[in-house]
Amino acid sequence: MAQSPAAASPGAPEQGCPIRVEHDRRRRQFTVRLNVGLTPGWWEELDAPIRVRFRTAPAAGCHDRAVLLYEYVGKRIVDLQHTEVPDAYRGRGIAKHLAKAALDFVVEEDLRAHVTCWYIQKFVKENPLPQYLERLQP
Distance in Å from the first CA to the final CA of the chain: 31
pLDDT value of residue 122: 97
Q: State mean pLDDT over 14-38.
A: 79
**Coil, helix or strand at residue 97:** helix
50-99: per-residue pLDDT in tens?
332 233 333 334 568 999 999 999 999 999 999 999 988 999 999 999 99
Paired residues of 22 in beta bridges? 3, 31
| Most confident of the ranges 10-19, 45-54, 88-97, 124-133 | 124-133
